Amino acid sequence: MIRIDVSFYGEISDRLGRERAMVFAADDITVGEIRAELARQDEAAAILLKPQIRVAVDSRVVPDDAQVASGQSVVFFSIVSGG
C-alpha cells in the first residue's frame, strides 16, 4: 500500500477548508483516480473534478492519466490562482 500526500492551493483550499489530504492506494495511481477518490471521500471535493482545476506532480503540470507513485508531491490548483 502506498500513501500519496496531496496539497490544495488557492480557491480549492478555501472551499475544502484544508490545505492537505492523503490518499492510500494498493499500487501506483493516476491523477484522475486521485481526483475521483478525493471527490468520493468529501462532497466539497467535487470541485476537483472541474476541468479548470490542474494538477502538478513534482512541480510539473500533468494530465489525468499521469501515474503517481509513493513519495511524489501532488498539488491541485486553479488556472486562476493569483499570487
**Mean pLDDT to the nearest integer, 71-83:** 81
In a domain, 63, yes or no: yes
CATH number assigned to the domain comprising residue 43:
3.10.20.30
Collapse the DSSP code of 30 into the 3-class scheme (helix H, G, I; strand E, B; otherwise coil) and give the result. strand
* Whole-number Å distance between alpha carbons of 81 and 77: 7
CA pair distance 36, 53, nearest whole angstrom: 13
Residue 33 forms part of a structural domain? yes
pTM of the model: 0.90
Quote the pLDDT of residue 82: 54
Domain that holds residue 46: 2-77
Distances 67 to 3, 19, 29, 45 between C-alpha atoms, Å: 14, 22, 6, 20
For 48-57, the pLDDT digits (tens) are 999 899 999 9
Whether residue 83 lies inside any domain: the answer is no
Give pLDDT tens digits for 11-69: 999 999 999 999 998 888 999 999 999 999 999 999 999 989 999 999 999 999 999 99
Q: How many domains does the chain have?
A: 1
